[in-house]
């Protein structure tokens, strides 16, 4: 028998309750029973209170005694009351699945669609536990093994380094500073997407261009200057961005090789585009791309207290 009770609490079993009842009938004290079971004295006190029933003896007199069977029934009743009822009813399930398939993240679903009445961690748990009936292809960003890339000893330099970018731009203090990239849909030579993300508002521009060349990029960029203000552009060291200064009259900054986090805003937006146009997409249309752009610019953002990029952009 244990001399001291354990500090790690486990609920009493039916067998232990039956021993308590037996030892009480044999005249043992609560402290003796606690010592024999390796439990605290208070645990036995609480258990005895829970299992008290009235029992009539042969002289028709009533006595308060401990019943292991009654105590065990009361224990299960209290356990059922203590378990939080799930909020996942049929209507909630259908609504969550609808938005997941509409490429909305669990966090935005919880905050913007359920007003915080359901936590995003609950939604993730329901997904991982199979309660929503979703498959891997329905997940926004399934985990993949990362490929380790080596950095060239002589990286290409087309202009100013991102290290020269002013702190005001880094802090996103004003509108008009953009990050740029191209999104390749297939390995074969084909049309690609030109994407630009405004750093402060997260406004997104997506355009289909003929190919991944500086001529195609510059041609589209010149057209965009008619409707958008460009105070600076941050690009990677891809050859398609080598002549950006010929297309737009603003400061151009280049990130370090294989340092996509230096253009993290644009990279995150490219991942959002992949929800609709995964790698291997053979065809897409201007209309489809425009719909994706509208969806992204009207997507509630946690950083803006669930306002949208278009609201932030128009609000200045």
Domain check: are 173 and 302 in the same one? yes
Q: Is residue 78 part of a domain?
A: yes
Rounded CA separation 74/13 (Å): 13
In a domain, 144, yes or no: no
Per-residue confidence band for 5, with pLDDT thresholds at 50, 70 and 90: very low
In the structure, what pLDDT confidence band is assigned to residue 225 with cuts at 50, 70 and 90? very high
User: What is the C-alpha separation between 42 and 61, in angstroms, rounded?
Assistant: 29
Average pLDDT over residues 62-87: 76
Do 198 and 261 fall into the same domain?
yes
The number of folded domains in the chain is: 3
> Are residue 112 and residue 194 in the same domain, yes or no?
no
Listed residue (206, 203, 195) closest to 234, CA to CA: 195
Which residues lie across from 53 on neighbouring strands? 65
115 and 177, same domain (yes or no): no
Residue 51 has pLDDT above 90, yes or no: no
122-172, pLDDT tens digit by residue?
888 888 888 888 876 676 665 554 555 555 555 667 889 999 999 999 999
Q: Please check the confidence at residue 118 and state whether its pLDDT lies above 50.
A: yes
**243-271 per-position pLDDT tens digit:** 999 999 999 999 998 888 999 999 999 99
Whether residues 204 and 289 share a domain: the answer is yes
Average pLDDT over residues 45-58: 82
Q: Looking at the structure, do residues 307 and 201 belong to the same domain, yes or no?
A: yes
Of 126-135, 190-199, 223-232, which gets the smallest average pLDDT?
126-135
- Assign 190 a pLDDT band (cuts: 50, 70, 90): confident
- Give the pLDDT of residue 124: 86
Residue where the block lists tokens 């009743």: 77
73-77, 209-213, 244-248: which range is least confident on average?
A: 73-77
Domain match, 95 and 131 both: yes
Question: Which of 78, 75, 84, 50 is CA-nearest to residue 64?
Answer: 50
Q: Is the dihedral of CA 47, 49, 55, 57 positive or negative?
A: positive
Do 116 and 212 sit in the same domain of this protein?
no
Q: How far apart are CA 85 and CA 87, in angstroms?
A: 6
Q: Does 231 score more than 60 pLDDT?
A: yes
Task: Say if 3 falls within a structural domain.
Answer: no
- Whether residue 46 is predicted with pLDDT greater than 80 in this model: the reply is yes
Whether 265 is covered by a domain: the verdict is: yes
* 52 within some domain: yes
* Domain endpoint, select from 60, 82, 104: 82
Of 62, 82, 102, which residue sits at a domain end? Answer: 82
Query: Where does a domain end: 37, 65, 82?
Result: 82
Quick one: which of 14, 12, 20, 124 has its CA closest to 65? 20
Does residue 147 fall inside a structural domain?
no
Place of tokens 């990050």: 179
Pair (243, 297) in one structural domain: yes
Q: 3-state class of 198 per DSSP?
A: strand
If asked whether residues 186 and 283 sit together in one domain, one would say: yes
Question: pLDDT digit string (tens) for 257-313?
Answer: 888 899 999 999 999 999 999 988 888 999 999 999 999 999 999 999 999 999 999
- DSSP class per residue in 255-312: PPTT-GGGGHHHHHHHHHHHTTS-TT-----HHHHHHHHHHHHTS-BGGGTTB-HHHH
Could you tell me the residue range of the domain that residue 41 belongs to? 14-82
Residue 108 CA, distance from chain mean position:
9
Residue 7 is assigned to a structural domain of this protein: no
Do 240 and 271 sit in the same domain of this protein?
yes
CATH of residue 202: 3.30.420.10
| Spatial CB neighbours of 241, under 8 Å, sequence gap ≥ 6 | 158, 180, 214, 217, 235, 254
Element of type H or E holding 219: helix 214-224
Q: Domain for residue 6, yes or no?
A: no
Query: Is residue 65 domain-shared with residue 97, that is, in the same domain?
Result: no
Q: Angle at CA 159, nearest 5°, toward 155 and 165?
A: 105
Quote the radius of gyration of the chain (alpha carbons, Å): 32
């Amino acid at each position: 028998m244990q001399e001291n009770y354990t500090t790690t609490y486990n609920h009493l079993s039916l067998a232990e309750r039956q021993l308590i009842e037996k030892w009480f009938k044999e005249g043992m004290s609560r402290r003796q029973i606690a010592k024999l079971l390796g439990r605290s004295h208070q645990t036995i006190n609480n258990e005895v209170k829970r299992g008290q029933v009235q029992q009539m003896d042969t002289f028709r007199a009533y006595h308060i005694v401990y019943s292991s069977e009654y105590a065990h029934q009361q224990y299960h009743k209290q356990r059922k009351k203590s378990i939080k009822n799930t909020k996942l009813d049929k209507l909630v399930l259908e609504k969550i699945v609808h938005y997941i398939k509409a490429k909305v993240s669990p966090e935005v679903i919880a905050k913007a669609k359920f007003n915080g009445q359901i936590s995003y961690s609950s939604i993730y748990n329901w997904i991982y536990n199979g309660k929503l009936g979703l498959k891997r292809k329905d997940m926004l960003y399934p985990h993949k093994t990362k490929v380790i890339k080596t950095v060239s000893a002589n990286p290409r330099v087309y202009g100013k380094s991102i290290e020269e970018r002013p702190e005001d731009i880094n802090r996103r203090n004003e509108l008009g500073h953009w990050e740029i990239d191209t999104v390749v849909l297939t390995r074969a030579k084909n049309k690609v997407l030109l994407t630009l993300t405004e750093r402060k508002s997260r406004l997104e521009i997506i355009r289909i261009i003929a190919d991944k060349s500086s001529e195609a990029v510059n041609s589209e960029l010149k057209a965009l200057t008619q409707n958008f203000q460009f105070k600076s552009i941050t690009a990677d060291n891809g050859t398609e961005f080598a002549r950006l200064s010929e297309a737009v009259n603003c400061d151009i900054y280049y990130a370090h090789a294989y340092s996509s986090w230096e253009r993290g805003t644009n990279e995150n937006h490219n991942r959002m585009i992949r929800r609709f146009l995964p790698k291997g997409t053979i065809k897409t249309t201007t209309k489809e791309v425009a719909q994706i752009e509208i969806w992204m610019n009207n997507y509630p953002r946690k950083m803006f207290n669930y306002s949208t990029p278009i609201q932030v952009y128009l609000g200045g």
